[in-house]
Structure 1
């Protein structure tokens, strides 16, 4: 068994970890090497106080980055043992990874790792082609592998009921000027290493749209044209809603997203029903599931989209200073 990871291994793994999704692509993570272990922490300077006052979104994003770390280390032949929230006195440390027994990566690890650079949030309308039953099963299995559940909202009445919850939550959020201002701060008209580029934002909302959107785009479409009349909606949930549960849910979210990417699917995230506590509880009751909904996804086949930029690896590393 290895005694510890090296700086070179840390850099290689972090290059994949930063490809994880995050609210407004704020990328709220930092990485360091301590006593041979890789540690992943929430970057408080990149928290979204209006959109994510509890830190749920930052922990979910860090959980997604953790799954990428695990995959990167596994395909390098140096899989890790993971301990979540290892230091009670340091609650921002999400996870510590130490070397496990070396082994070859599994075919699933290899295919999911290959999907990391191809995954992005596709906010454009999807085609009407249905997602096959076997692919839907794979998505659910991905969530179960990470001790979470994925409920697909099937049928016109169920989707319409979800849409009412989502639009209600969206209206609540949009009434807060701090929320609107914060979103505007992360919209990017010029090239930038973070935030959401206008080209990745999708078209403008129309009154008849079934599901709400963040409004990151600005591209107009023909008046009265439906955005997507029959979307496939998936709700990811965890057993509880502690900080550790949210980190676990982030790993499950990323495994689902990478599984979808590997299957040729596009996905965008709809977090509005999660951000409003009343809407989240209403969603849970409508599904009849135990635990806590952690993220909503819109899933389907569509045109290739835009992979959003990421910060440089050196910008997210905390390396020890070596004296001369």
Structure 2
């Protein structure tokens, strides 16, 4: 008896959900191909969306694609299917990041519970309140990272001070790098609702008038009409997601772990934002690691708290990122 495979309409819906994942500068660096003959869904990097100055190793690209893979798992599980993923399946084809097959699952898949958070999760560059995130909620986020083979560390006060200094160092290094500034401008300047990628002006958030939250100012020195100033948190709640190893498969796993943490946080009523800025510079990334942690390789800095709802950023139409044969 032939093995049943999901129909094209279902896979298209799951890929649409997958593309709601966060990615560096919202570049959405993924391409999917679904083969109806064998029911296999391939994920490839979109080489046209690499950032040679900001992300020369493509670590950030892999993390974004890993986040899309986790969304794919959640969407399939919600529909009663289990997504079975092989990472980096072809040594001779480095742009092929994963191949996923699907089997119908009669068991309750815990990631399916995160499905309602898929469309509610948005990166927030708004100020968060001073309300403390309960320890029980933070423990749940640590568990979400562990479930994906990663670790989520919440630094103490003195470690946060050091981390914030590294963020300021990264901002200064960025100011001195024309190549990095040019790439940021590519994905932010003039990105309005008609463009299905990048960070539109309405998602830039306010300028920081005061406070110490590490929120990247993508506008730089550019004036944005109607943009206000605001006071951000003085004592931001920050978490570092890391992995034991630092190979391409680990970056894809880190992306899945990051998205699982973000969706769990959204499910728990938190607002979130990501900061890769200090991790884009090798010397700063090394300094941000926690020597006593078993992870050793920081992959993402996550800001957590309670903030206002923010609108979604644009997404490429699924017809641009999915081919079915």
Provide TM-score, normalisation by structure 1. Answer: 0.92
Instruction: Tell me the matched-pair count.
Output: 314
Given candidates 72, 77, 80, the residue that maps to 1:69 is: 72
How far the C-alpha of 1:288 sits from its partner, in A, is: 4.3
Cα distance change of structure 1 residues 257 and 238 upon mapping to structure 2, 3 Å threshold: same
Matches within 5 A, 1:45-194: 45-106=48-109, 108-155=110-157, 157-187=158-188, 188-191=190-193, 192-194=195-197
Q: Which residues of 2 match residues 189-208 of structure 1 at below 5 A?
A: 189-191=191-193, 192-206=195-209
CA contact (8 A) 1:152 1:234 kept: yes
Shift of 1:239: 1.4
Secondary structure of 1:273's counterpart equals: helix
Deviations 1:255-274 (A, max 9, x none): 00000000110111111121
Hey, what's the Cα distance between the residues in 2 that align with 1:202 and 1:134? 29
CA contact (8 A) 1:170 1:212 kept: no
2:229 match: secondary structure: coil
Residue of structure 2 aligned with 1:215, choices 196, 204, 217: 217
Q: What's the RMSD between the two structures over aligned residues? A: 1.8
Return the match for 2:247 from 239, 242, 245: 242
- In 2, the alpha carbon distance for the partners of 1:7 and 1:87 equals 25
Inter-partner Cα distance in structure 2 for 1:8 and 1:2? 18
Partner of 2:238: 233
> Could you say which residue in structure 1 is the equivalent of 2:277?
272
CA gap of 1:264–1:103, structure 2 versus 1, over 3 A, is: same
After superposition, the C-alpha distances for 1:205-241 in whole angstroms (9 at most, x for unaligned) are 45x542443323542326xxx4210100000001111
CA shift digits 1:32-54 (9 cap, x unpaired): 11332111111111112221111
State how far apart, in whole Å, the 1-side matches of 2:99 and 2:293 are.
35
User: Which residue of 2 is the match for residue 318 of structure 1?
Assistant: 323
Q: Deviations over 1:139-172 (max 9, x none)?
A: 10000000000001232x2221111111112211
Q: CA–CA distance in 2 between the matches of 1:183 and 1:205? A: 19
Note the C-alpha offset of 1:5. 3.4
